[in-house]
Amino acid sequence: MKPIVAPSILAADFANLESEVKMINDSAADWIHVDIMDGVFVPNLSMGIPVVKAIKKHATKPLDVHLMIVNPERYVEAFHDAGASVISVHIEASPHLHRTIQQIRAMGIKAGVAINPHTGVDQLEDIIGDIDLVCMMSVNPGFGGQKFIENTYKKVERLKSMIMRTGSKAQIEIDGGVNLQNAKSLVNAGADVLVAGNFVFSSSNPKEVIAQLKDLK
């Protein structure tokens, strides 16, 4: 099965966002992954609502917004209004996760839960039936270009079996350090969505890399 491929705009050239978004439009990518960092939940700042609106203006593909911010319920409506089709919030940053998920779904878009590398998939047991996506971090969130954490494979398998057992419709998204070395094994383990930042944008032919991630050999 072909994965959903979501290039991460964090690794793009921010001075040429329009052409970077158009490159994704013209590629085999399915979604555009947008990383929002608050300098509190993660030790870095990235972009905010005006930039998401600017991306949306040119994007022909759904925006998959990954909120790495504390108390994300404060901003889900603003990111929906800015054009998000998927919003993921971190389990570690959401004191009332179930309520926040309901809030996102009530706006008619997909709701995801992101988990850090140290967070066990068992913590999703009581929310898995209510969500559309699990964004499984395969690096510690905050920066692009980090090394893939190998323990992720086991987590994907465990999550996949939870999804099968419970009849959940949630898709599994892998975020961080994805490349052509690990993509196939991740999909075989149960991943549905592959996020890739540096691997795509540091290439001399990003469209070709996106096509290769989509059509794994």
Binding site for ligand DX5 (CB under 6 A): 8, 10-11, 33, 35, 66, 139, 141-146, 175-178, 195-199
Q: Which does 177 bind (CB under 5 to 8 A by kind): Zn ion, ligand DX5, none?
A: ligand DX5
Residue 91, SS3?
helix
Q: How far is the CB of 96 from ligand DX5 (least distance, A)?
A: 22
Cβ proximity to Zn ion: between 30 and 35 the closer is 35
Size of the site for Zn ion (CB under 5 A): 3
Q: Does 175 bind Zn ion (CB under 5 A)?
A: yes
Q: How far is the CB of 200 from ligand DX5 (least distance, A)?
A: 8
130 in active site: no
Q: Following CA atoms 11, 16, 81, 107 in sequence, which dihedral angle do they give, to the nearest 10 degrees?
A: -40
Angstrom distance (rounded) from CA 183 to CA 180:
5
DSSP 11: G
Cβ proximity to ligand DX5: between 66 and 102 the closer is 66
38 in active site: no
Q: CB–CB of 97/118 below 8 Å?
A: no
Q: How far is the CB of 25 from Zn ion (least distance, A)?
A: 20
Q: How far is the CB of 150 from Zn ion (least distance, A)?
A: 19
User: Starting from the edge strand earliest in sequence, which strands make up the sheet with 32-37, in order?
Assistant: 4-7, 193-196, 171-175, 133-137, 110-115, 84-90, 63-68, 32-37
Question: Which residues, 25 to 84, sit near Zn ion by CB under 5 A?
Answer: 35, 66
Angstrom distance (rounded) from CA 147 to CA 140:
9
Q: Which does 83 bind (CB under 5 to 8 A by kind): Zn ion, ligand DX5, none?
A: none
Question: Pick from 93, 158, 86: which is nearest to 121 by CA?
Answer: 158
Q: How far is CA 61 from CA 30, 33, 75, in A?
A: 6, 10, 22
The residue annotated as part of the active site, out of 35, 38, 64, 132, is 35
Which residues bind to Zn ion, rule: CB under 5 A?
A: 35, 66, 175
Return the active site residues.
35, 175
